[in-house]
Amino acid sequence: MSGPSTYEPKTGFERWLDQRLPVARMMHDSFVDYPTPRNLNYFWTFGAILMLCLVTQIVTGIVLAMHYTPSVDDAFNSVQRIRRDVPFGWLIQNIHATGASMFFLAVYIHMFRGLYYGSYKAPREVLWILGVVIYVLMTATAFLGYVLPWGQMSFWGATVITNFFTAIPIVGEPIQQWLMGGFAIDNATLNRFFSLHYLLPFVIAGVVILHVWALHVTGQNNPDGIDVKDKADTVPFTPYATIKDLFAVVVFMMMFATFVFFLPDALGHPDNFIPADPLVTPPHIVPEWYLLPFYAILRAIDFSIGPISAKLGGLMLMVGAIGILFVLPWLDTSKVRSMRYRPIARWFFMAFVVVCFVLGWCGAQSPDKVVAQAGEFTIDATFTPAAGGEQKFTATGHTLEEAHKAFEKQRAATVSAAGPGSLTKTVVTPFQFKVTQLSQLLTLYYFGFFLLVLPILGLRETPGRVPETIAKAISAKRGAAVEKGA
């Protein structure tokens, strides 16, 4: 935090270095004496956890790159070679592949934390925006990395995603070809994706430094969302925050290790153990779980609006879903930071979390999957035998196929009894609520939360009584706890 430095060089060397390059001073002020609000809960340990994730991915990734072969003929087998023959390759590869999921799990908790406690509000707007930049870089890196093992899902995921660029008018197709390095996903694509996958983590590391810098200028937010007023509100980062962070990191590592050692394939897709084949399209192309909500938004638009095609509309919404986070600090009009003191906003937030999860579920389903259906399929038929007369019959079924089967049975029975004749039939389709429609509703809430709820509610909601200082908030909480206990 900005303020007078308390660093005192103790040895001659430290004094000498301090006058030339004060790195020790910077580290001391940032990670030792840095004042930390004393009321932070465990949601504030995810910064440290994310640091662990980034370092883990970079270190394991560098080792993997020593053994990986970025060529369409060898990539798939080189990953198998790593898993089978490289000493501890199975471990390093598992950590890297699982680590991507763990990184996203942690970053989503970190982001929801920021959303709930209003960590994006003044004076932390730049801090938040840098965080969103890191998130965007993470999704790009993860997408590029998923292509490298060159399995079926790698190849077809890359095909689907690059194909979406063609929705952009005029420049879309050239952009797609430029990304792919040709007219299809091929060796050129794999090579450039490998190069970029190696580059972006270091860009992330750079932005992380800015993120931490911005954090240390404004100071941390806290669960009560109150500004730090004096020393009574804070504790020094070391040992208080360091020891708590270390404990949380180890708990996180236990979950991480459970996946790495006992469920290494649980987060992946079986199709990616099949080598990429441009001639065989998998029945369902799905991205990794952490991109599913955005994939659902992308596919939610199945109609065109004027000049905007369904594809372009979906792309715009998907980009908008992340882009809207950049302007979030100016969309939320509430003066109160923490939703702890916003009784109504809190429920809209919980609903938002549910919406994100269900969007993720939608992203994994086929868009035509029926979520709910009112009534059954009905086939009304009229059979007119050549001999004259008229016979009507009706077949029903929960699906169109079932209805057809029932219909065929009745038809056969009728025809065999009455002889040849002519048949007319009408199929009545019941109202069906499909994944696409569900995704549309959820997408509406996703954007409604940012564009309607946060701007309007902030002006109209009567917030709870916010304590004046962190110290008072703590004693109020402890008082309540004592009362409850008594």
| Interacting residues with other proteins (CB under 8 A) | 38-40, 43, 77, 80-81, 83-84, 90-91, 94, 112, 116, 223, 235, 239-240, 243-244, 246-247, 250-251, 253-254, 257-258, 260-262, 264-265, 270-271, 273-275, 283, 339-340, 346, 349-350, 353-354, 356-358, 360-361, 365, 369, 471, 474-475, 478
* Count of Cβ atoms closer than 10 Å to residue 284 Cβ: 12
Supply the minimum distance, in Å, between the C-beta of residue 413 and other proteins: 15
Contact, 50 vs 104, CB < 8 A? no
Nearer to other proteins, 247 or 303 (CB): 247
Output the smallest distance, CB 47 to other proteins, in A: 17
Residue 121 or 311 having the CB closest to other proteins: 121
Min dist CB 288 to other proteins, Å, is 16
Question: CA 150 to CA 274: how far, in whole Å?
Answer: 9
Amino acid at residue number 81: R
**Shortest Å distance, C-beta 186 to other proteins:** 18
Q: Return the number of the residue (103 or 349) whose C-beta is nearest other proteins.
A: 349
How many angstroms separate the CA atoms of 173 and 115, rounded? 37
Cβ nearer to other proteins, comparing 270 with 278: 270
Residue with Cβ nearer other proteins (31 or 273): 273
25 or 244, CB closer to other proteins? 244
Question: Residue 173 burial by CB count (10 A; 0-12/13-18/19+): exposed, middle or buried?
Answer: middle
In the bound complex, what is the minimum distance in angstroms from residue 251's beta carbon to other proteins?
6
Nearest distance, CB of residue 14 and other proteins, angstroms: 26
Pick 22 or 264: Cβ nearer other proteins: 264
Of 4 and 283, nearer to other proteins (C-beta) is 283
Which backbone phi and psi does 382 adopt, to 5 degrees?
A: -125, 125
- What does the alpha-carbon distance between residue 397 and residue 361 come to, in Å, rounded to a whole number? 27
Contacts with 209 (C-beta within 8 Å, 6 or more apart), sequence order: none
Tokens representing 115 are: 């959303």
For the bound state, the minimum distance from the C-beta of residue 40 to other proteins, rounded and expressed in Å, comes to 8
CB of 21 to other proteins, least distance (A): 31
Give the CA-trace dihedral at 163, 169, 173, 178, to 10 degrees.
-100
* Cβ partners under 8 Å of residue 163, min gap 6: 176
Q: Is the dihedral of CA 28, 229, 227, 474 positive or negative?
A: positive
For 433, the 3-state DSSP assignment is strand
Rounded CA gap, 472 and 470, in Å?
5
**Least distance to other proteins from the beta carbon of 43, Å?**
7
Integer Rg of the chain from CA: 29
Name the residue nearer to other proteins (CB basis): 304 or 475: 475
In 219-344, alpha helices (H): 242-262, 292-300, 310-323, 328-331
Query: Closest CB to other proteins among 29 and 224?
Result: 224
CB of 289 to other proteins, least distance (A): 11
List, in sequence order, every beta strand (DSSP E) within 329-376.
Answer: 370-374
First to last CA, the chain: 40
Q: How far is the CB of 313 from other proteins (least distance, A)?
A: 26
Distance CA(241)–CA(235), nearest Å, equals 8
Nearer to other proteins, 91 or 179 (CB): 91
Whole-number Å distance between alpha carbons of 79 and 184: 23
Q: Which two tokens stand for residue 405?
A: 């089967």
Instruction: Give me the sign of the Cα torsion angle 278, 282, 284, 288.
Output: negative
Angle at Cα 268 formed by Cα 266 and Cα 272, nearest 5°? 135
